Amino acid sequence: MKQRVVITGLGVVSSIGIGKELFWNNLIAGESGISQITAFDTKDYPTKYGGQIHNFQPEDFIDRRKIKFLGRASQLSIAASKLALKDAGLDTKLEENLGVCVGTTMGEAQLVEEMDSIWLTRGVDSIRFSSISLYPSSNLSMAVAIEVKAKGPNYVMPTACAAGNYCIGYAFDIIRNGQCHFILAGGADAFSKVAYTGFNRLYAMAPEKCQPFDKNRRGMMLGEGAGMLLVESLDSALERKAKIYAEILGYGLSCDAYHMTQPNEEGIAKAMEKAMKESQIDIEDIDYINAHGTGTIQNDKAEVAAIKKVFGKRYRKIPVSSIKSMLGHTMGAASAIEAISCCLALEDGVLPPTINYQTPDPDCDIDCIPNKSRRQKVSIVMNNSCAFGGNNACVILAKF
């Protein structure tokens, strides 16, 4: 008999706040985390802004002696994981009972930049082996496991900007089938020149602000951050009298099999339909959709078309918002941070807004909760994510 699965701990590191309280207060206030980038010199780039985290101090979470042996994405993963464990009321002596699953797009890409710089200025023999050993993406989950002594299943999901939802879905399966007691699931990505250059060369970046669903939207804003959720069985949560933020009803995955960067409404719709089928709900049960909503012309248009395809005439009645308007696109962390937003929306009965919305777009004629948060009780929410390569993941969460 498969177990019911719940979320009992939330940990977030973002450009609008570290920790769930500050993050949520700023999110529902419509605060923007977009600022001028200082992580590297942007003089040769057409854009200068992004969702950079300016106040993250890794020594607040990690022994100072260990920090130099960790890339920034691993540091963010550890910080969010410790916040989630603390929020869940768990100590770190769980060993075999605790697993880790971290999603990412870029891994530790900034380490490649550092090695390239050393190679160009001082020669290849000056690159330290320790730098090379920190680069593999698998370090993100291994670093968390070592730090919190998690000896259970350990995975990195590199499914780009849908990776956080993939990890939550994986945790759901592991817990439901009784293979592990607790899973830290989520995603992390740090700023890097590689990502910034890539999205600029794709002409996907907005100059100063992200405007999802707006007729005059000009693209995404790159961000960084980490979101980790403590996932466990309902029986376990009830036994230890844990606070339950949400129950995971199910998830759906699909691949567009269409184009490396262009989204396709058919694939997005399939992920939503699969998620609802597994969750044993129908379109009338969804109270809110947390959209992927990057702010690019094609992504927003395709996602709205998919919502219309799935929900039919009801699509206008469902509130849909994109918190990327405030955070920027945090890549592998995006849908994990958005899942945390969904949990807090279920708890507080407040829906976060889509800020910077000015001009309606006939192709995106949804209720996007423009500019101001909305107090509204919700029972079941949908969290959408879409990634390069056509990887789509949709998770359904319910108020317990």
Q: What is the pLDDT of residues 221-235, one digit of tens each?
A: 999 999 999 999 999
Is 161 in the active site?
Answer: yes
The owner of tokens 């309280």 is 21
Q: Which pLDDT value is given to residue 116?
A: 72
Mean pLDDT of the region 304-319: 97
Is 54 in the active site?
Answer: no
Q: Which pLDDT value is given to residue 135?
A: 66
Mean pLDDT of the region 330-338: 98
CA distance 127 to 116: 9
CA distance 167 to 151: 17
The closest of 108, 131, 101 to 119, measured between CA atoms, is 131
Q: Which pLDDT value is given to residue 133?
A: 67
pLDDT of residue 93 exceeding 80, the answer is no
Single-letter code of the amino acid located at 92: T
Q: Which helix (H) or strand (E) holds 253?
A: strand 246-255
The closest of 185, 253, 222 to 327, measured between CA atoms, is 222
Q: Which pLDDT value is given to residue 121?
A: 83
Mean pLDDT of the region 374-385: 97
Q: Which pLDDT value is given to residue 113?
A: 72
* Percentage of the residues of the chain whose pLDDT score is greater than 90: 85
pLDDT of residue 112 exceeding 80, the answer is no
Q: Which pLDDT value is given to residue 124?
A: 78
pTM over 0.85: yes
The closest of 164, 170, 343, 172 to 244, measured between CA atoms, is 343
pLDDT of residue 126 exceeding 90, the answer is no
Least confident of 44-48, 130-134, 202-206, 355-359: 130-134
CA distance 343 to 282: 20
Single-letter code of the amino acid located at 308: K
Q: Which tokens is 336 given?
A: 């994990």
215 by Cβ neighbours in 10 Å (0-12 / 13-18 / 19+) ranks as: middle
pLDDT of residue 172 exceeding 70, the answer is yes
Domain 5-239 class in CATH: alpha beta
Query: In which residue ranges of the chain is CATH 3.40.47.10 found?
Result: 5-239, 249-398
Architecture of domain 249-398: 3-Layer(aba) Sandwich (3.40)
Are 218 and 211 in contact by the 8 Å Cβ rule? The answer is yes
Mean pLDDT of the region 26-37: 98
Single-letter code of the amino acid located at 389: G
Q: Which pLDDT value is given to residue 92?
A: 62
Is 292 in the active site?
Answer: yes
Q: At what angle do helices 163-176 and 334-348 cross, to 10 degrees?
A: 70
Mean pLDDT of the region 363-368: 98
**149/110: higher pLDDT:** 149
- Please tell me which residue in 180, 329, 364, 386 is annotated as part of the active site: 329
Q: At what angle do helices 20-28 and 334-348 cross, to 10 degrees?
A: 80
- Please tell me which residue in 161, 180, 368, 394 is annotated as part of the active site: 161
- Please tell me which residue in 167, 180, 210, 292 is annotated as part of the active site: 292
Q: Which pLDDT value is given to residue 91?
A: 72
Q: Which pLDDT value is given to residue 129?
A: 67
